[in-house]
Structure 1
């Protein structure tokens, strides 16, 4: 991905952050890629200062890390770190799904139907990023119905941290010729939400996150696998 020149102005720092952030979460900037400030500034057509500030914000968001002799790089999460991310996602999203599904409006349901079509079209085009964006937008509609923007922002931040893992997972399913597997949780979730079954919606999110956690655990050496949380 080649970054586009920015319109200089008061928000140039925010624009730099958004441009580099988009390149990371889209997978265009792969994990481990060096983020050379002068090169990024030249691509964006701005000075190095707002780029430096953008990199610092991305580091605070957990998407970038500074390594000796390499400088800033796109963070490559280890399986152990991903397990921590998914543990927190489970804590936040199961409750958000149940509360949100209980409060969705008729307009929300109509929007979910539109996004459902967009998800299927993205899979037909084998567009991994569009699929993930629309899938996350579906969850966002339901989670936003909780009326708690801090909760939604926290969840979206966690999605950014595990985006590279999600991209790899979707590509593997498409390469195996099994796009229908990517719709299994999606269909169950929409059915639960649109029928007003909040508990079932929470159960689908639980199952989905547990399945992702299991995939991460399989990538760990046996001795390093921590105990899974016990249901209460």
Structure 2
């Protein structure tokens, strides 16, 4: 018996089925297994270790907010904020003011740099993530002579006597110098802190004050920067 060519499908005729199968496999691979777990995020670097790396290095850090976003905008003009973990603290420079509050837990990917002497982490909103949990960071008790590089970026509490009275540096803020023993530092109050300038103006030489604030640096001078009226106590 003579077999017709139509009785045996050609390779060309089977190609649509093969192509359909390949497309289905590709779609499945692209979608992934619905039951699979999301990829594990990259581990965060302790802030103290991150601070020690070279400028231009990209790092991931996690910490709790010690300075709310945009609080220093009268001077910086942006939505920057500060975070701290158990090893250190750092100032995060970002243009947009994000909705974080004191104690919020955040994860930041950014690039290390320095700005007027201050160690900073430059980032953008898409690289900043709010994590679960909050924790109010307690200030570290230090003397004015200890407000140096090892404590830069931390939330501290420090006492001293007024050495130079109120100076109006509007629109950035207000300042004065205070000291305890051999070391003296600058108290810098940003407009956003809500501290009445008349309170600062009323301080006299030698008057004792206690300040809770972020340790910053402006060129060669270290500063303690309060965040709210309760951070400044007259003694």
TM-score (norm 1): 0.22
**Structure with higher helix content:** 1
More strand by share: 2
The structure showing larger relative contact order (alpha-carbon pairs under 8 Å, at least 6 residues apart) is 1
Q: Calculate the TM-score normalised by the size of structure 2.
A: 0.22
